[in-house]
Amino acid sequence: MFVLVNLKAYDCDPVEIAEAARDVSDDSGVRVGVAPQAAHLERVAETGVETWAQHVDPVEHGSHTGTVHAESAADAGATGTLLNHSERRLKLADVDGALRAAERAGLETCVCANDPDQIGAAAALGPDAVAVEPPALIGTGTPVSQADPEVVEGAVDAAAAVDDAVDVYCGAGISTGEDVDAAGDLGATGVLLASGVAKADGPRAALQDLVSGV
């Protein structure tokens, strides 16, 4: 099971959370990653935690002011990247281009999508993983694995029908170890969450709870 914590642009200490995630991963043997703001990638990577970019753009070296360049993210210490998060939607051609950019940079990739149909389309582009995240549940504390488990099962089936090598992660509302267990029972091999850790009073305790049943 992979636990990937997206810090979004929350008012939190990315290094504190990264250090907690590193320690919890080392202690539990569970894979835990952190996706900070681009400006914090290097600081987070220096903690030794698995570090992901929140996004990269479909660009090569050149005149692309304001973009997130995949090779630069990798140089800063990122080993993976999210793409097409519901808060950073891309056109299909741009998802494909960003995947190619990430591959050039040696970044692992996870493409987010709303439902099983979109998961199938995303899987066809050849990412390492896809994450199903119904937008209505993001940040609510109500996990999709409980609110609508058929969406997770359908996403797993849709990805497998296209390419069974593509992992399926479960996002939206994940905040407890029970949620992680439920996602695994439905066939997910990872979870994607944000506020459950980034906005927690005690991020380390939140992370320990997340991995407790794995």
Q: What's the rounded Cα separation, in Å, for the pair 68 and 63?
A: 12
Amino acid at site 123: A
The C-alpha angle with vertex 41 and arms to 84 and 93, in degrees rounded to 5, equals 25
Contact 3, 32 (CB under 8 A): yes
* Angle formed at CA 77 by CA 10 and CA 167, multiple of 5 degrees: 75
Give me the DSSP letters along 193-206.
ESHHHHT-S-HHHH
- Answer whether 15's CB lies under 8 Å from 42's CB: no
CA 210/CA 212 separation, integer angstroms = 6
User: Which among 197, 186, 147, 214 is positioned nearest to 18, based on CA atoms?
Assistant: 197
Catalytic residues: 85, 133
Q: Residue type at 148?
A: D
Cα-based angle 115, 199, 14 (whole degrees, multiple of 5): 100
